[in-house]
Amino acid sequence: MTNGLARSVTSEEASLALTTLDFDLETTSVSQLASIVTKTAARQSKKNDIYETRYVVSNGLVYVSRLVANRGASINTVKSTPVPTPFTEGQYLVAAAQQGKITWTADKREHDPLNAGEIEVKLSYGGLNKEDTVVINGNDYPTTFSYEISGTITKVGCGVTDLKVDDVVVGFAFDKFATFQRTSADLVLKVEKDEDVTKLASLPWSFAQAIYGLETLARVEPGETVLILSNTGAVGAAALKVAQALSAKPFIVTDSEADASALVSKFGIAREQVVIPTISSLARDYKALTNGRGFDVILSGGYTDPVLARESWRYTAPLGRSVDFGRKNVLKHALLDTIPLHQSVSYLSYDILDLYAHKPQILAYLLKSAVTLFHKDPSVLVEDAEVYNVADLESAVSSFSDSVLSSKKVIAYTASEKTLVVVPTAPTLRFSPDATYFLVGCLGGLGRSLTSWMTENGARRFAFLGQRGIHCQVIRGDVASKEDVERAVASIPKEHPIRGVVQAAMVLRDGLFHSMTYNNWTTCTRPKVNGTLNLHEVLADTPLDFFVTTSSTSGTLGTPGQGDYSAANSFLDSMARYRVNHGKKACSIVLPMVLGVGYVAEHPEVEEALRRKGIYGIDETHLLKSFATSMLVQSSENPVDHVVVGLDPVKLQKSINSADTTDGFWLEDTRFKTLLESMKSADAAGSPEASRTILTTIRTAASAAEAVQITSDYFTQKLSRLLILDLYIFEPHTKAIADYGLDSMIGAELRNWIFKELGLDIPFQRLLGPELTIWKFAIEVCANQGQVLEGSA
């Protein structure tokens, strides 16, 4: 308690030089103690502007106090940046794609229950298709993709009887691009564990479409001719094999003689079955191959050349069928020639996504047909799939081709030393519906907010202890009375044991220390000090998931007029450390003023007083995230005994600037040295004056040449810091900016900085273009500010 009291008293009386020394008497001799006290007094007598005010002596060493950022705890409350992370099997990750770049985040569905008839599959392999690539490249925005999978069942929903956990399956999953996917049990097939799931993963999408198009819709008969147009990709290759299985004669369109030879070699077809048409020779070529009849069936896809598809339609045989799969080109539909319709030609269009949405039972049948075809004749897969590790997904996408000659690409979800770009996310917190959570002093606004949040995350039983009941048990009592605490704990049903404690008892009796009465002192400190000791002793043998005490920055900063409150909160911080050091759960959450709920919300004058001291407040959302953090860190490998909230350097500096504070008593405290340095950096980087300085320098330069040189030097220094490169590496006049190793993520950050700092909104593609040097960029910046370099237009 002494440290909290000392901080408050010195904030009330600036001329008071008060230093605290905390000795470990078991490891500190009397002579050491005397020497340290003497040196401290001598240092204090020099009356330096800045000196240490707190020392801890243990094992012969003298420690000073510093407040530092806890990166491990902060990740739960601040937005994280993507980091390269090796992929390991079992990670629940989901991908997000933007302009060909893929980032991964934790899949929040991990703990969600399955719908009836659903299963969850841990992916071993997943086929990559055209539809996936257009989403990843940012050219389309469907809600689902990654359609074909193979893997092991990890969860089974109610109503699923013919599948179980650990079964190996292959099938469809119209889901997100994720390492674990959820799908209907009807859309997968169980396969033997010794089967080649790599090959099976490449079957469903292409062969289901080929079978549906040729067998179900076109009803291809033996001896009929089937023309497969170019750019039909894996579906076109599957259609060729399906046509052969149906005893039809397939023909395929390609662009060159080299491709024709490759098709003959790959599929074992005759050279006459490969067509290399031009629009002018189309009629002659098609008629020559079909004895003037035209083709019985023509297969095209959503990415087939519309001109080729329209012209080929004209040469469909009487009673023929033109089958068009995949996403449709509206222009291709609008310009279809009606003449073939007079010869009873059918135009049959389908999208497998429509089958999934409206007739999934057909999709289930097609899956069985595809696997049966493969088991009957494995040669339908003319070559092994091209396998890419999930860490190489971007490479697989960039090398994807619509050519029938291209190998099927399959993504392997296996452990790799290669990394994924993963955005760290806060661990999820779930409360047990069978446990009781013992909440002290939580009957006000803060308590309502806390219990609502805990309820949303699984809690169903609460016991409240307060001086003024999902299932609530409200017990009248005083936490500072051990008898009341024992009675309250004894009243909890054994079938719903206490598993978590939040000690938020608080009574305020503000006043300057020199005029504080003993009664006010004990009234303020008893709920926190005696109350926490009672909880600690009564629950000594109770296994807990968390033991949270709500402290305050008043104990950390030392707020004037709150010596009693600061002392009590300092005790909470020390008690949490004591419990953690003795292997028990505990974390003291050190809160700033909380806006919108609780005491400050009910006393606006308190908020105004704190703002004048340069302190900013947190809202309810931040408060609840802070509670989550304080609970989660207690289960981590390296438990944290206290978490200080509301000391973000950027926000603190902004608060001080806006408040024009004259009462920032804590700004000269050496304990906050690291924090103050961060605040100064934030102020220098974010202040409007910093941005105006370079722009003003450019505008007021003696000549445009001078302005460009200044800008070039300024931007080079920025790149040097951003990319961690020595300045001598840079060649402003000759080397493109992109050549220094900018990727899209760094480029995006740099582009934002350019806009804020230099007032130039430069397109992303131009910034990373091969022609833009630092010098050319500087010329553009200066021209935007009115300094046009002669001859640069």
Tokens of 32: 């050491």
- Secondary structure E strands in 553-629: 587-591
Q: How confident is the model at residue 680 (pLDDT cuts 50, 70, 90)?
A: low
Percent of the chain beyond pLDDT 70?
A: 84
Distance from CA of residue 337 to its chain's centroid?
Answer: 50
Give the model confidence (pLDDT) of 602-611 as tens digits: 666 566 656 6
Per-residue model confidence (pLDDT) at position 690: 44
Residue 663 has pLDDT above 70, yes or no: no
Runs of H (alpha helix) within 633-743: 649-659, 673-686, 688-699, 704-723
What is the model's pTM? 0.58
Number of neighbouring beta carbons within 10 Å of residue 302: 21
When pLDDT is averaged across residues 556-560 and rounded to a whole number, the result is: 71
Q: How confident is the model at residue 220 (pLDDT cuts 50, 70, 90)?
A: very high
- CATH numbers and ranges of domains, the chain: 2-64 (no CATH), 83-202+385-422 (3.90.180.10), 204-380 (3.40.50.720), 440-446+498-669 (3.40.50.720), 688-784 (1.10.1200.10)
Of 73 and 258, the one with more pLDDT: 258
Number of neighbouring beta carbons within 10 Å of residue 223: 10
Q: Which of 68-72, 131-135, 455-459, 505-509 has the lowest mean pLDDT?
A: 68-72
Long-range contacts of 727-736 (CB under 8 A, 24+ apart): 730/774, 731/773, 732/773, 732/774, 732/775, 732/778, 733/773, 733/774, 733/775, 734/773, 735/773, 735/774, 736/769, 736/770, 736/771, 736/772, 736/773
Contacts of 41 (CB under 8 A, 6+ apart): none
DSSP for 117-158 reads: TEEEEEEEEEEE-HHHHHHHTTS---S-B--EEEEEEEEE-T
Contacts of 383 (CB under 8 A, 6+ apart): 266, 407
Cα–Cα nearest to 419, from 387, 390, 458: 390
565 SS3 class: helix
Per-residue model confidence (pLDDT) at position 142: 53
Residue 143 has pLDDT above 60, yes or no: no
CB-CB contact of 513 with 9 (8 Å): yes
Runs of H (alpha helix) within 350-444: 352-358, 360-376, 393-398
Per-residue model confidence (pLDDT) at position 691: 43
Give the model confidence (pLDDT) of 22-55 as tens digits: 888 788 888 888 888 888 788 777 655 556 778 8
CA distance 21 to 424: 40
Residue 334 has pLDDT above 70, yes or no: no
Q: How confident is the model at residue 246 (pLDDT cuts 50, 70, 90)?
A: very high
118 strand-pairing partners: 184
When pLDDT is averaged across residues 325-344 and rounded to a whole number, the result is: 70
Q: Which of 117-121, 306-310, 502-506, 778-782 has the lowest mean pLDDT?
A: 306-310
